[in-house]
């Protein structure tokens, strides 16, 4: 009986010792683990802030800010910016971009021409967040908005002109009309048009030869018209000159009275007599008399 009690007492004592020991270590470890967990969390937060708490936006770009799929309305300008570590920044260029398009377009006669056009434009940086939200980044809005708009506008404009107009000075007019329409369409998408250039425009070879021949004939006709106009003006000039001469002769004839002629005769005679180079002067006075007048010392 005593042994049993002693044994039981020992068992209880062992259980009591285990319980006290466990409680003592548990009380000591809990604060320590909390401090360690806090230090680890702070280190992770600090590291994330160090790595993802700032960003730089390249020159000629803006940064579109996206937080968990939500695009913010304010963009980052170029340069250094602090940010939320969970925030993702997408760069979009505001520099001038050139897109070249080669396409087949119909003329007003239904003929097919090959058109090569270049368009210069840039993104309105203040609306980059909206463009990114609705369309996407630089590549996506160029493929899905810019290129289709250029092709559609080119076809609409060229369809109002004849094939021969494409080889005349109307090419500049076509480019101007394309620029006006593209500017309106681009503005709806927050894009700014800078310039439209028609680089090349090709028609079928036979049609091109026919147009060139027609243009050559028109040039020859214009040259002939110029020659005829020049000759007509020269004829008018000679006619006017002849009328002037005839009028002058008529005025002179009307002024040659007998008295005037007699006075002119005497005046001329006086000049001739006084000339040192003459020795004998034969002057007809009328049909019955031809006087011979001695001059100087000759009798």
Q: Is residue 182 part of a domain?
A: yes
C-alpha angle 40-44-47 in degrees, rounded to nearest 5: 135
Residue 278 per-residue DSSP state: -
pLDDT in tens, 150-182: 999 999 999 998 877 777 778 888 899 999 999
Residues 237, 263, single domain; the answer is no
Give backbone dihedrals phi and psi of 93, rounded to 5 degrees, phi first. -80, 145
Whether residue 166 is contained in a domain is answered as yes
Which pLDDT tens digit goes with each residue over 64-77? 988 888 888 888 88
How far apart, in whole angstroms, are the C-alpha atoms of residue 196 and residue 149?
13
Please indicate, yes or no, if residue 164 is contained in any of the structural domains.
yes
Phi-psi region of 296 (alpha: psi -120 to 50; beta: other; left: phi over 0): left
Do 168 and 189 belong to one domain? yes
299 occurs within a structural domain = no
213 shares a domain with 200: no
Q: What angle do CA 126, 127, 128 make, to 5 degrees?
A: 100
Nearest CA to 205 out of 284, 111, 279 is that of: 111
Same domain, 274 and 191: no
Position 288 scores a pLDDT of 44
d(CA 56, CA 81): 6
- 115 and 186 belong to one structural domain: yes
Query: What does the pLDDT look like over 233-280, one tens digit per residue?
Result: 888 888 887 878 877 777 777 766 776 667 777 777 777 767 676 555
- The per-residue pLDDT for range 18-35, each reduced to its tens digit, is 444 444 444 555 666 766
Residue predicted with more confidence, 190 or 24? 190
Closest listed residue to residue 67, CA positions, set 91, 49, 87? 87
Nearest partner of 103 among 181, 198, 208, 11, judged by Cα: 198
- 111 belongs to a structural domain: yes
Domain housing 46: 1-52
Q: What is the model's pTM? A: 0.55
Looking at the fold, whether 12 and 79 belong to one and the same domain comes out as no
How much is the pLDDT for 234? 80
Domain count, the chain: 5
């Amino acid at each position: 009986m005593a042994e049993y009690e002693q044994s039981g007492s020992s068992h209880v004592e062992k259980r009591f010792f285990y319980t006290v020991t466990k409680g003592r270590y548990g009380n000591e470890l809990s604060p320590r683990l909390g401090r360690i967990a806090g230090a680890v969390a702070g280190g992770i937060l600090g590291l994330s802030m160090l790595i993802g708490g700032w960003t730089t936006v390249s020159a000629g770009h803006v940064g579109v800010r996206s937080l968990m799929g939500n695009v913010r309305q304010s963009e980052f300008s170029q340069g250094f910016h602090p940010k939320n570590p969970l925030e993702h920044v997408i760069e979009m260029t505001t520099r001038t971009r050139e897109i070249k398009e080669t396409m087949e377009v119909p003329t007003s006669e239904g003929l097919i021409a090959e058109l090569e056009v270049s368009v210069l434009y840039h993104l309105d940086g203040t609306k980059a967040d909206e463009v990114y939200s609705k369309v996407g980044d630089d590549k996506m809005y160029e493929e899905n908005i810019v290129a289709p708009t250029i092709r559609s506008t080119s076809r609409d404009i060229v369809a109002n002109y004849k094939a021969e107009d494409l080889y005349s000075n109307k090419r500049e007019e076509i480019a101007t009309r394309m620029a006006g329409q593209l500017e309106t369409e681009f503005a709806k998408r927050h894009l700014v048009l800078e310039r439209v250039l028609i680089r090349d425009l090709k028609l079928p070879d036979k049609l091109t030869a026919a147009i060139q021949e027609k243009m050559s004939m028109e040039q020859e006709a214009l040259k002939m018209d110029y020659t005829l106009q020049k000759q007509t003006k020269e004829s008018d000039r000679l006619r006017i000159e002849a009328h002037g001469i005839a009028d002058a002769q008529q005025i002179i004839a009307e002024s040659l009275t007998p008295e005037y002629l007699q006075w002119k005769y005497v005046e001329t005679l006086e000049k001739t007599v006084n000339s040192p180079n003459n020795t004998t002067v034969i002057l007809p006075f009328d049909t019955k008399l031809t006087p011979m007048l001695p001059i100087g010392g000759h009798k």
